[in-house]
Structure 1
Amino acid sequence: MKKIMLSLAMVSVTFAFAQKKEINAAFKAIEAGDVGAAKTQVSAAEAVIGANTSSVDPALLEKLYYAKGIALLKSGNIGEGASTLAKINGLKTSKFTPTLAGKIGGTISPIVQTSNKAAMDAYNAKNYAVAGPKFREVYDLLRAAGQDNKQYLYYSAITYALAEDKANAINAYNDLINSGYTGVETKYFAKNKKSGAVEELDKTSWDLMKKTANGDYTDFKTETSKSVEEELYETNASLMLDTGKYDDAIALAAKGLQKFPKNIKLGEVQGLAYYKSGKTDQFLASLKAQVEKNPQDKVSWYNLGVLASKDPSKTEEALRYFTKTVELDPNYGPAYQNMTYLLMDLDNDSKYIDQYNALRKAQKSAEANKIMEARRARFAKALPYAEKWYAAEPNNIDAVSLLKGLYQTTRNEAKFQEFKAKEAAMQKK
């Protein structure tokens, strides 16, 4: 018997026919209100299509998303239903315009109201884990009906972040940034002559009423909200940093700095992402670029000091950077802490103690005393910075313990006893 071979073209036609059949059946079922049948036909269609929808006619995809989304909504799965219906809006191209938005509007209108109330109630109750998905629901539902109101996407991004749901927050912020959303919105107001109340009008009505002599409105005013674009970059880059997405944080911070070159927060995030990902050279370069653009950036000066302090040959350079930091902020405790440690040469202190003990054991008292005198001199030089550290952070037990030791070494018995008592009191808490 001759073997029958199907060509690729024939296979494609067969699949296309199956797609059309199953999708049209699902659409007819949901239109008839038969949710169960619609779900069955949707599952059958998706099994034929698989993950790749690019070969499916957009008109058929619109019907599929519509049938699946409405079926999910009517089954009580509002979140997935909303996100499925929202895909319809993404089908729009120069060659195809979705036609089912009008049908969706009537179905989802009461659901939008319910979801919006649930989102606002949860937000006001600080139940952010509920509010975030609900705001996203509202956004997706409105988008499915042809209203791409990104303010609700912005609300969802904020509440996802407050709920520590960083993955969904990052996704929402990415969508906002990639869409060019700025949050700038102009509202139009006028006073109703009859009621005396100030009313918000749509722009077309506002323009018309303003041009109408002796009309029903007066005192025409506008209010334009501030841009939140800079905030979007700052928050999302920080979320990426927090979740270990260092390369993403670096790229987003760089993109943000092109728009907002003097933004300190973005520079800090970019630098920390370089540092945490082990890209020390890039971190150093970013810090130097940052202080060049913004000489008042104390954090970048401080971080330059931290990097320099890791190289024993750059102690003086590190001290200059820390000095610059405290010139900008006299209460910046970490800078005083690092200056204290550098001047004490704390990394090598145990080595000096070992040398001292070895010389004493060898009965070389003069040489041993020189080591101890040099140590006291270092500690005396560091003491004023340790005191400033304590002044900046009086509740820091590390500062208290260090000062106790410094006063003991520099033979200030009264201060030693004072800080010994402070340390004991703090340890009891």
Structure 2
Amino acid sequence: MKTRLFIAAAMSCTMVAFSQKNELKSAEKALKSGSAAEAKTALDSASSLIDGADAKMKAQFHFLKGETFAMLAKKGDAAAFNTAIESYNEAIATEETSGKVKYTPEAKQKLSAMTADLINAAVEDNNNKQYKPAADKLYMGYKLSPKDTVYLYYAASSAVNGGEYEQALNYYNELKDLGYDGSEVKYTAVNVASGETEEMDKTQRDLMVKSKTYKDPKEEKSPSKSSEIIKNIALIYTQLGQDDKALGAYQDARANDPEDVNLILNEANLYFKLGDKDKFKSLMAEATALQPDNADLFYNIGVVNMEQGNIEDARAAYNRALEINPGYVNAQLNLSTTYVNEGNGMIDAMNSLGNSRADIAKYDELKKEKDGLFQKGADILEQALKLNPDNQGILEQLKNIYGALGDNDNFMRLKKLIGE
């Protein structure tokens, strides 16, 4: 009786193994015909029994699963990439344990090819503004090929573009920990026939120069990306409202690139937000000392002060920007707006007055002051119009000021200039 049971059990095991082999053959056949869906169905049927299979069959199963999901990924199933990678690696690990190698070389080759597929798919996602999937694929590409750290850098950029700030922060911090530099050396030479400077790899460039068809070989190293990475970490902490971490990141960034004016302005804004106006002012002074003739810098300082209600400081900055660049339209518009806004701020006080003789006198005084501010705003734009006679922003704002002043002649003049 015991003998019969043993034989029956042995027959059962043989039938299970036979069934698994059939499913794996079906999967292979489906893959050859290009049907990933049929291959997946066959593998699903075999999966529940694969844990009890021998190492050879396990390796075959995982390799075929890798092939199946790699095919699904190529057909547009982005989620299939990860399963394909895991399956190929499982096939490799199984053969490493057993010591019998059959699928490992091809699995490694497939993983290498998949890196290219992931990067190409990520490029397409970015072109279609699908930034989160692009970031995920670029990160998977980096994990498959850790030597290509540039994939991690682009993964972080894609995450930022998609508003996935925490994901981007993780990637940037990983880049920082790796000491990623990102600079590259470009090799160029001048084509003797065309006179054009051309870029090529070093070996080809040297051969071309040696053949005398090219001349003037040069090597140019692109700037390091380490400053940008540290700066982005600081900016993301600010975006996430993690002010303490942001300040620490700004200190790191400033230590790495102490003369980055935009970085100084961002740090200054954070100090203003935290209520440290003295630090805010000292950083602003530091920025202008570094670039005293940068009109854009003074314009940005004007914008910051204007947003924070520091009207006189804003006007001083806009005026300095206009000293450097008299035709700076946005500085002209904003400088005019500071006077209009100040005039508008007096209207509530005017409307709150009563009908007494004193109130009427006060009203007339305030109106005169308000109209004087409006006129200052108009005068600035009249000067701006001389340099930029067709600028629609100037024309519209000037028309609105004259309308508020009740200056109908100038109001109609501006309407005609606009073409209304």
TM superposition score normalised by structure 2: 0.58
What CA distance in whole angstroms lies between the structure 2 residues aligned with 1:416 and 1:188?
Answer: 61
The structure-2 alpha-carbon separation of the partners of 1:298 and 1:120, relative to structure 1 and needing over 3 Å to count, comes to same
In structure 2, list runs of 5 or more residues that go unmatched. 1-49, 70-79, 90-102, 190-198
Residue equivalent to 1:114: 114
What CA distance in whole angstroms lies between the structure 1 residues aligned with 2:164 and 2:187?
Answer: 36
The structure-2 alpha-carbon separation of the partners of 1:385 and 1:168, relative to structure 1 and needing over 3 Å to count, comes to same
Counterpart residue type for residue 123 of structure 2:
Y
Kindly state the Cα deviation for residue 123 of structure 1 after the two structures are TM-superposed.
0.8
The answer to whether the aligner puts 1:346 opposite 2:370 as a matched pair is: no
Q: How does 1:76-225 map to 2 (within 5 A)?
A: 76=69, 78-79=81-82, 107-124=107-124, 126-127=127-128, 128-129=130-131, 130-143=133-146, 148-186=147-185, 223=219, 225=221
The structure-2 alpha-carbon separation of the partners of 1:413 and 1:34, relative to structure 1 and needing over 3 Å to count, comes to same
Residue equivalent to 1:385: 380
What CA distance in whole angstroms lies between the structure 2 residues aligned with 1:260 and 1:110?
Answer: 42
The structure-2 alpha-carbon separation of the partners of 1:159 and 1:317, relative to structure 1 and needing over 3 Å to count, comes to closer
- Aligned match of 2:254 in 257, 260, 274? 257
Kindly state the Cα deviation for residue 337 of structure 1 after the two structures are TM-superposed.
4.2
Q: 2:88, 2:107 within 8 Å by CA — same for their partners in 1?
A: no
The structure-2 alpha-carbon separation of the partners of 1:79 and 1:241, relative to structure 1 and needing over 3 Å to count, comes to farther
Residue equivalent to 2:317: 321
CA offsets 1:347-399 (integer angstroms, 9 cap, x no match) = 532145326x635x648766654443333333222322244678599454xx6
Kindly state the Cα deviation for residue 263 of structure 1 after the two structures are TM-superposed.
1.6
What CA distance in whole angstroms lies between the structure 2 residues aligned with 1:162 and 1:325?
Answer: 31
SS of 1:34's partner is helix
Q: 1:274, 1:282 within 8 Å by CA — same for their partners in 2?
A: yes
Residue equivalent to 1:226: 222
Counterpart residue type for residue 79 of structure 1:
N
Q: How does 1:239-254 map to 2 (within 5 A)?
A: 239-254=236-251
What CA distance in whole angstroms lies between the structure 2 residues aligned with 1:287 and 1:243?
Answer: 24
CA offsets 1:404-427 (integer angstroms, 9 cap, x no match) = 3432455532221244678996xx
The structure-2 alpha-carbon separation of the partners of 1:166 and 1:179, relative to structure 1 and needing over 3 Å to count, comes to same
Q: 2:302, 2:313 within 8 Å by CA — same for their partners in 1?
A: yes
Q: 1:325, 1:332 within 8 Å by CA — same for their partners in 2?
A: yes
The structure-2 alpha-carbon separation of the partners of 1:201 and 1:250, relative to structure 1 and needing over 3 Å to count, comes to same
What CA distance in whole angstroms lies between the structure 2 residues aligned with 1:169 and 1:402?
Answer: 41
What CA distance in whole angstroms lies between the structure 2 residues aligned with 1:85 and 1:296?
Answer: 59
What CA distance in whole angstroms lies between the structure 1 residues aligned with 2:246 and 2:274?
Answer: 11
The answer to whether the aligner puts 1:414 opposite 2:417 as a matched pair is: no
Q: How does 1:359-378 map to 2 (within 5 A)?
A: 359=355, 362=357, 368-378=363-373
Counterpart residue type for residue 141 of structure 1:
L
The structure-2 alpha-carbon separation of the partners of 1:279 and 1:112, relative to structure 1 and needing over 3 Å to count, comes to farther
What CA distance in whole angstroms lies between the structure 2 residues aligned with 1:257 and 1:321?
Answer: 24
What CA distance in whole angstroms lies between the structure 2 residues aligned with 1:170 and 1:266?
Answer: 17
Q: 1:166, 1:239 within 8 Å by CA — same for their partners in 2?
A: yes
The structure-2 alpha-carbon separation of the partners of 1:316 and 1:402, relative to structure 1 and needing over 3 Å to count, comes to same
TM superposition score normalised by structure 1: 0.57
Residue equivalent to 1:294: 291
Q: 1:343, 1:381 within 8 Å by CA — same for their partners in 2?
A: yes
Kindly state the Cα deviation for residue 287 of structure 1 after the two structures are TM-superposed.
2.0
Kindly state the Cα deviation for residue 105 of structure 1 after the two structures are TM-superposed.
7.2
CA offsets 1:298-329 (integer angstroms, 9 cap, x no match) = 455345545666898x7544432221133334
SS of 1:117's partner is helix
SS of 2:345's partner is helix
What CA distance in whole angstroms lies between the structure 1 residues aligned with 2:329 and 2:112?
Answer: 51
What CA distance in whole angstroms lies between the structure 1 residues aligned with 2:249 and 2:390?
Answer: 34
Kindly state the Cα deviation for residue 137 of structure 1 after the two structures are TM-superposed.
1.5
Q: 1:287, 1:304 within 8 Å by CA — same for their partners in 2?
A: yes
Q: 2:169, 2:233 within 8 Å by CA — same for their partners in 1?
A: yes
What CA distance in whole angstroms lies between the structure 2 residues aligned with 1:384 and 1:413?
Answer: 16
What CA distance in whole angstroms lies between the structure 1 residues aligned with 2:259 and 2:338?
Answer: 31
Residue equivalent to 2:58: 34
The structure-2 alpha-carbon separation of the partners of 1:341 and 1:225, relative to structure 1 and needing over 3 Å to count, comes to closer
Counterpart residue type for residue 110 of structure 2:
P
Identity, % of aligned positions: 18
The structure-2 alpha-carbon separation of the partners of 1:273 and 1:85, relative to structure 1 and needing over 3 Å to count, comes to farther
Q: 2:339, 2:376 within 8 Å by CA — same for their partners in 1?
A: yes
Kindly state the Cα deviation for residue 182 of structure 1 after the two structures are TM-superposed.
1.2
Kindly state the Cα deviation for residue 170 of structure 1 after the two structures are TM-superposed.
2.6
What CA distance in whole angstroms lies between the structure 2 residues aligned with 1:220 and 1:112?
Answer: 37
The structure-2 alpha-carbon separation of the partners of 1:162 and 1:293, relative to structure 1 and needing over 3 Å to count, comes to same
The structure-2 alpha-carbon separation of the partners of 1:274 and 1:377, relative to structure 1 and needing over 3 Å to count, comes to same
What CA distance in whole angstroms lies between the structure 2 residues aligned with 1:34 and 1:173?
Answer: 38
Q: 1:246, 1:274 within 8 Å by CA — same for their partners in 2?
A: no
What CA distance in whole angstroms lies between the structure 1 residues aligned with 2:161 and 2:357?
Answer: 64
Kindly state the Cα deviation for residue 140 of structure 1 after the two structures are TM-superposed.
0.6
